[in-house]
Amino acid sequence: MATAQSKGFLFRDFAAKPKLTPPDEIKARGALLIDAATGEVLYARNPDEHLLPASTTKLMTALIVYEKLGGLKGNVTIVDDDTKVEPSSVPLIPGETVSVDKLFHALLIESANDSARALGRYVAGSTDAFIRMMNQRALTLGCFNTHFSNPNGLPAPAGTHYTSCADLMRIFQAVIAHPELRKICSMKEYVLSTQAKTQVLHNHNRLLGYYPGMGPAKTGWTVASRHTYAASVTLGGREILLTLLDSPNKWADAQILFNWGFAQKPSQQETSTPSAPTPEPAPSGLASASPAPIVKSAKHAKTSSVATP
């Protein structure tokens, strides 16, 4: 099987019969790999453990703002409080007006922390109100191992900002169910013009354009959280979804798990998305959305409860 070196990580060409690395060799503390069509769990490690999401938090921010506005509509006048964040940032300048569309591209491609604050404040009136909205929406999605304390995933007091791989999967599924958001999360580059400058935003997903079939994804990293990741790959008409939390190297872990997943035969027991319970109404001011497919176990799932330090 051919290999190629690219920007500091090893990419294995996906051959008909790849030499598979056993999935238990991943280094992430949490992982969940599922078949998008059936919800079948292909691999799981500590899927319900509370772990730090870092910038994958922005998936929930994007979902709520998109639902609230009914799309990428409107323009946001930036206020000083929006800009009080650490990098990465656009940077936004107080007093300028930026379209929601531009802010979404900065949020999901460049992972701009100031865009997250601006969008949240725009739809909720204040950052605190938006955080309450995030936690309410998490509950309606069935994310009972999740709590947010900011809209961007920057470090927060211990025990106040966390999710699990299973909950992150539900949020990711809800986001990519919207074609416009799926498209943005799949873009390699975007030219952004604001008052500060015109710049080319580069997607932080280093597997985009390198791993075959790589589609929408959101990355995250802080010193405390280490690498976090939600990603989709489609090959041969089959889509597999992955969430990773607390990984020292998400690029290596993701390749191991996607290679493993596509080497497993799809379940013959189900050929369509499983039915889901009727969802609770979305919080006031939010559009109701169809529930994401239920994440469920399958008899062939490979699981491990032991995490590598």
DSSP 56: G
- pLDDT of 79-119, one tens digit each? 999 999 987 899 999 999 999 999 999 999 999 999 999 99
- Written as one letter, the residue type at 185 is C
Q: Which domain holds residue 50?
A: 7-11+20-266+281-304
Asked if residue 205 is part of any domain, the answer here is yes
Q: Kindly give the residue spans of alpha helices, DSSP state H, lying in the chain.
A: 58-69, 100-105, 113-124, 127-140, 165-176, 179-185, 250-263
Residue 2 within a domain: no
Residue 309 resides in a domain = no
Q: How many domains does the chain have?
A: 1
Q: Is residue 237 part of a domain?
A: yes
Of the pLDDT bands very low, low, confident and very high (cuts 50, 70, 90), residue 297 is very low
Q: Give dist(CA 279, CA 12) in Å, integer.
A: 41
**Whole-number Å distance between alpha carbons of 179 and 148:** 25
Q: Is the peptide bond before 91 cis (omega within 30 degrees of 0)?
A: yes
Please say if the pLDDT value at position 7 is more than 90: no
Cβ pair 267, 38 in contact under 8 A = yes
Contact (CB, 8 A) for 243 and 172: yes
Q: Report yes or no: 228 and 134 within 8 Å, Cβ to Cβ.
A: no
Residue 276 lies in a domain: no
| CATH number of the domain bearing residue 262 | 3.40.710.10
Q: Is 271 within the bounds of a domain?
A: no
pLDDT, tens digit (0-9, with 9 covering 90-100), for 163-210: 999 999 999 999 999 999 999 999 999 999 999 999 999 999 999 999
In a domain, 1, yes or no: no
- Model's pTM, two decimal places? 0.84
The proportion of the chain whose per-residue pLDDT surpasses 70, expressed as a percent, equals: 81
Q: Within a domain: residue 137?
A: yes
Q: Are strands 198-202 and 189-193 parallel, antiparallel or unpaired?
A: antiparallel
